[in-house]
Amino acid sequence: MSANTITRKLRSFLYAVLLLGPGSALAEYKLNMPESVTVVGKEIFGLHMLVLWIVTIVGIGVFGVIIYSLFKHRKSKGAVASQFHESTAVEVIWTVIPLVILVLIAIPATKTLLKIEDSSNADVTVKATGWQWKWQYEYLDEDISFFSNLDSDSNEAREKGSGVNVRTVDNYLLDVDKPIVVPVNKKVRILTTSNDVIHAWWVPDLGIKRDAIPGYINESWFKATETGTYRGQCAELCGKDHGFMPIVVKVVAENDYQNWVAEQKEASAAASAGSDREWSEDELMTRGEEVYKANCAACHQANGEGVPGTFPALAGGELTTGSAEGHIDIVLNGKSGTSMQAFGPQLNDADLAAVITYERKSWGNDASVVQPSDVKAAR
């Protein structure tokens, strides 16, 4: 540990102990809620600070009285107990004062809440669907759809015994392979839903958190006033890898946003190109390993052994060593009522063929090769 880190640690320790909290120039230690870059987020921050100050002042008052009493009214100092034990006037006063304070808090809180819940007239609408354990984003007006996974550096470093010092990984656990991009100063409406269990879409800097619930489509919105990259995480416990499904939002200028949209459309055309030709087994295996690591290893494990009782082993599995049809079917369509999701909508034919072939030819399995055309036929 360098002298620098030690002093840094010591300082944060001290600040915490001294309760030197809100508002001070300690941004690097992250003691407080971020001020946010959205209008509503700033209001939320203001409310948070208002209530925090109120309770701090009330706390100082009440604790002050108690502490005074603890020193003054002790037997060892010869204090003699007086026997008063009732006063209606006092009781009424200290019932009414809290009530008044509450009303003072409730007024601005109501205003902000009404704003939060008004997601009408949005400029851009993005649907965020939670999957165990990644986010799918669909731009409803643009016909763009993609998945956003934990980035591969974090994903490798987070394994127990990975040997990687996670402090050397940039934005460890807070980075994704593909962020969502939105324009600055525009009202962005986020629709949240889920494909499996409940997740929650949360980006602190944008002042937005909303549950993603199967069977529901929830609305919320933000309007960022500064460009930048904002990071968040799934906030609702959603199973094993709940801690590993971050959210990254890039807020960019309007014309950068338009360029990005155009790029996405070209890229999705290019990606499906490879699906029409015959692939060699080597090509399929190389591609398949990548796809497997990114999409399947979280449950079935890198060694194909799965997790007993929760996720089946693919090494020596019935379907992975049996006929291709059954194997293609479960990967394409998933199995409802289990966490085995449908990968048909997530991956293109080439990727699917590659990952299925990979599973059929790894860990001692030796079944047939599957071509993109086979997957296409099964769709």
Partner 1 sequence: MSTVAATHEHHHPTGITRWLFTTNHKDIGTLYLWFAFIMFLLGGAMAMVIRAELFQPGMQIVDPHFFNQMTTMHGLIMVFGAVMPAFVGLANWQIPLMIGAPDMALPRMNNWSFWILPFAGTMLVSTLFMEGGGPAFGWTFYAPLSTTFAPASTDFFIFAVHLLGFSSIMGAINIIATILNMRAPGMTLMKMPLFVWTWLITAFLLIAVMPVLAGAVTMMLTDRNFGTSFFDAAGGGDPVLFQHVFWFFGHPEVYIMILPAFGVVSQIIPTFARKPLFGYASMVYATAAIAFLSFIVWAHHMFTVGMPVAGELYFMYATVMIAVPTAVKVFNWTATMWKGSMTFEAPMLWAIAFVFLFTIGGFTGLMLGVAPADFQYHDTYFVVAHFHYVLVTGAVFAIIAGVYYWLPKWTGNMYHEGLAKWHFWLSAISVNVLFFPMHFVGLAGMPRRIPDYSPMFAEFNMMASLGGFVFGASQLLFLYIIIKTIRGGEKATDEVWEGAEGLEWTVASPAPYHTFETPPQVK
Using CB under 5 A as the binding rule, the residues of this chain from 219 to 278 that contact Cu ion are 234, 238, 245
CA within 13 Å, CB half, 55? 7
The mark string for 257-296 relative to ligand HEC (x by CB under 6 A, - otherwise) is: --------------------------------------xx
Using an 8 Å Cβ cutoff, are 58 and 223 in contact?
A: no
Q: Which helix (H) or strand (E) holds 325?
A: helix 324-333
- How near is the Cβ of 37 to partner 1 at its closest, in Å? 14
Q: How far apart are the first and last CA of the chain?
A: 56
Angle at the Cα of 147 (from 137 to 171), degrees rounded to 5? 100
Q: Which amino acid is at 232?
A: G
269 binds, among Cu ion, ligand HEC, partner 1, none (CB under 5 to 8 A by kind): none
- How near is the Cβ of 323 to partner 1 at its closest, in Å? 28
Closer residue to ligand HEC, CB minimum distance, 179 or 304: 304
- How near is the Cβ of 147 to Cu ion at its closest, in Å? 13
Using an 8 Å Cβ cutoff, are 242 and 257 in contact?
A: no
Using an 8 Å Cβ cutoff, are 370 and 353 in contact?
A: yes
Q: Which of 119, 125, 129, 132 binds ligand HEC (CB under 6 A)?
A: 132
Any contact of residue 331 with ligand HEC (CB under 6 A)?
yes
Closer residue to ligand HEC, CB minimum distance, 116 or 298: 298
Using CB under 6 A as the binding rule, the residues of this chain from 354 to 373 that contact ligand HEC are 355, 359
**Coil, strand or helix at 56:** helix
Any contact of residue 343 with ligand HEC (CB under 6 A)?
yes
The mark string for 183-212 relative to Cu ion (x by CB under 5 A, - otherwise) is: ----------------x-------------
Greatest pairwise CA separation for the chain in angstroms: 96
